[in-house]
Amino acid sequence: MPAVFSNANLLLVAGGVLLFLLAQAARDAAFARAARSLGDDSAYRSGRGSFAPWAHVDPWRSLVLPIVLAFTTGIAFGCGRPLALDATKLRRPQRDTTLIALAGPATSLFLALLLGLALVLSTRFAWIDSSSLAYLLLVRAIVTNVLLCVLHLIPLPPLDASRIVAVQLPPEHRAGYEGIGMYGVLFLVAAFFTPIGELLTQRSGELPVWIDFVAQLVIP
């Protein structure tokens, strides 16, 4: 894995961790607010509907893990505290669980697109330089939100898509499926140190190709 300090410094690492915390807070808040609107306010009542990062922080998974990954892979990534969801309070459990589980990834995708537009406009009109700290942080913010979106669509506990699978399972199998959550986190962390992780992080300091392609279509 490329070291984060090859072309960066402590400020870039700290900025990357902060951007992850903000992105994680946005997706967790979207989950809690979607659940409340559909009948279950468990997560919202515990303060998880807030967009403030400290409402979602887990010391190890939200701080230590992103810092370690930032130093070793160049991408600050981790996860927040588990989000409560009581499907028995939902009006239509299977449908509503699916909508709630997709709220987080949809929010992350929206933020990635919004930040991508900001990056394209900033570079096209020379508001920032591609070697500047602002440029690098914008790219990392985009990558972080894309990763949050894509990874949470994997049906592996405790990721969001696993809730869609769990609610479809018979009760006698559901607990066993949800119980692999801790191993799921370990698997995701290990994936960052494989060729898959290399593919995800090796170009994290460059303008993503898909953003540049979209820019050619929408900006003269």
Query: What one-character-per-residue DSSP string does 64-124 give?
Result: IHHHHHHHHHS------SPPP--GGGSSSHHHHHHHHHHHHHHHHHHHHHHHHHHHHHHHH
* Structure-block tokens of residue 59: 């010391």
- Rounded mean pLDDT, 174-203: 71
Winning range, highest mean pLDDT, from 62-66, 112-116, 121-125, 170-174: 112-116
| Whole-Å CA distances, 69 to 3, 80, 129, 162 | 10, 15, 26, 24
DSSP string, 149-188: HHHTTS--TTSHHHHHHHTTS-HHHHHHHHTTHHHHHHHH
Residue 209 has pLDDT above 70, yes or no: no
pLDDT tier for residue 61 given thresholds of 50, 70 and 90: confident
- Give the pTM: 0.83
Q: What are phi and psi of 51, to 5 degrees?
A: -90, 5
Rounded to whole angstroms, the Cα distance separating 216 from 77 reads: 30
Q: What is the pLDDT of residues 155-178, one digit of tens each?
A: 988 899 999 999 888 888 888 888
Sequence-ordered list of residues with C-beta below 8 angstroms from that of 33, at least 6 positions apart, any chain: 44, 49, 103
Q: Which of 188, 194, 191, 190 is nearest to 157 (CA)?
A: 188
pLDDT for 30: 97
User: For tokens 């900001």, what's the residue?
Assistant: 118
Residue 192 has pLDDT above 80, yes or no: no
Rounded to whole angstroms, the Cα distance separating 186 from 115 reads: 29
Q: Which of 86, 103, 93 is nearest to 167 (CA)?
A: 93
**Residue extents of the structural domains in the chain:** 4-218
Q: Give the number of residues written for the chain.
A: 220
Count other Cβ atoms within 10 Å, centred on residue 104. Answer: 26
User: For tokens 């903000």, what's the residue?
Assistant: 22
Rounded to whole angstroms, the Cα distance separating 192 from 142 reads: 17
